[in-house]
Amino acid sequence: MNFLSIKDLNDPELDFFSKYSEVQLFRMNEPDPGVFVAESANVVIRALEAGYEPLKLLVEDERIETEAAPVFEAIARLYGKELLDSIPVFTAKREIVTALTGYKLVRGLWAVFKRRALTDLGSFLKERSRITLLYDVVNPTNVGAIIRSAAALGMDGALLTRPSVDPLTRRSARVSMGTVFQLPWTRVQKNGPEGSELIEFLHNEGFTTAAMALTKDTISIDDPALKAASKLAVVLGTEGTGLPEEVISACSFSVKIPMHHGVDSLNVAAASAVCFYELLK
C-alpha cells in the first residue's frame, strides 16, 4: 500500500482535508463534478459500496489496524488491489491529524472521493413514487437527519432545491450515517424550476404534494388522502421560517402533525421522521 507519513502540514496534497472549503471541493473540476470528503470508517465504506471512487485517504497511525482495516478491505474488494496499492494513504499521529483537520471528535479516518453527475430532475422523478422535497433546508445536520429518516422509513428518494445544503458535505454525510450514499437523491439544477413552478413540475409528473405547514385547511398526517396518492412528495421547509407561502399554496395539501401541551411544531428533522413513519404504516 502507498502509505505516506505526514512530514509537512503544508503539503498541498493535504489541502483537500484541511484548507479547501466544501464549495471549493464541490467546484474543483467544473464543469465536471468535483470531489467531497467523507469522515469515519462507516461513512467511507458506505460511499465505497455506493460506487464512489476514492482518490486519497488520511488515517491516524493508531487507527490503521482498526477503523482503516475494513476500509482497505472494501477498496480491494470493490475496486481491486491495484487501486488500493496506488491511492495515497497519508498517516500521522492523532495530535498532528487533529491539528491538520481541526476535528477532535471524529474518529481518525478521512477519504476524498470523486463526485458523480446528478440525475436530471425528470428522469429522477419517473423512477420514484414516494419522495421528500427539501425546500431550502440550509442546516447540514437537518439535511443528514432527514435523509437518514427517509432511507430508514420507506421513502425512495429525496429532491433538494439549489439553496439546500449538499448532502455530501462532511457533516450531512456523517449525521446521516452514510445513508446519503444509499438513498437516491438529486437537486434542482441552475435555471431549473423554483417556487410554485417546482411544485407544478411535480404535479405534471403525477405527484400529489404535501407541504408540512400549518394553514386554515391543514389536514392531519394520518389523513387517508395521503396514503391513497399513487405518487407523493412530502415538502419540508428550512428551520425557523418554514416554507414560502407561494409553495404552500401551490401544494395539493398542507399537512400537520397533531401536537400536545401547547407545542406548535417540531424540528424539521424530527417532523420528517414522524411523517415518513406514518406514511409507511
> Percent of the chain scored above 90 by pLDDT?
69
Please give the pLDDT value at position 157: 96
pLDDT tens profile 101-111: 666 546 688 99
Cell of 273: 421522521
- The burial of 109, by beta-carbon neighbours within 10 Å (0-12 exposed, 13-18 middle, 19 or more buried), is given as buried
The residue with greater pLDDT, 63 or 229, is: 229
**Residue among 126, 135, 124, 114 nearest 186 (CA):** 124
Cell of 166: 449538499
- Residues paired with residue 227 on neighbouring β-strands, in sequence order: none
Please give the pLDDT value at position 101: 66
CB 71 within 8 A of CB 1: no
In degrees and rounded to multiples of 5, residue 33 shows phi and psi of -60, 150
- Residues paired with residue 5 on neighbouring β-strands, in sequence order: 91
Beta strands 109-114; 54-60: pairing state: antiparallel
Residue 184's pLDDT band (cuts 50, 70, 90): very high
Q: Which CATH number fits domain 2-114: 3.30.300.30, 1.20.1250.20, 3.30.1330.30, 3.40.50.170?
A: 3.30.1330.30
d(CA 183, CA 194): 23
Half-sphere exposure of 175 (CA within 13 A, CB side): 18
What is the radius of gyration, based on Cα positions, of the chain?
21
- Check whether domain 121-280 has CATH 3.40.1280.10, yes or no: yes
Please give the pLDDT value at position 174: 92
Helical H segments across the chain, by residue range: 15-18, 22-26, 41-49, 68-79, 81-86, 94-101, 121-126, 140-152, 170-175, 195-204, 224-228, 245-250, 268-280
CB 115 within 8 A of CB 92: no
Residue 262's pLDDT band (cuts 50, 70, 90): confident
Please give the pLDDT value at position 107: 64
| Low-confidence winner among 17-31, 173-187, 257-271 (lowest mean pLDDT) | 257-271
Q: Break the chain into its structural domains and give their ranges.
A: 2-114, 121-280
d(CA 26, CA 113): 11
| Low-confidence winner among 93-97, 107-111, 192-196 (lowest mean pLDDT) | 93-97
Please give the pLDDT value at position 259: 83
Please give the pLDDT value at position 104: 54
CB 175 within 8 A of CB 208: no
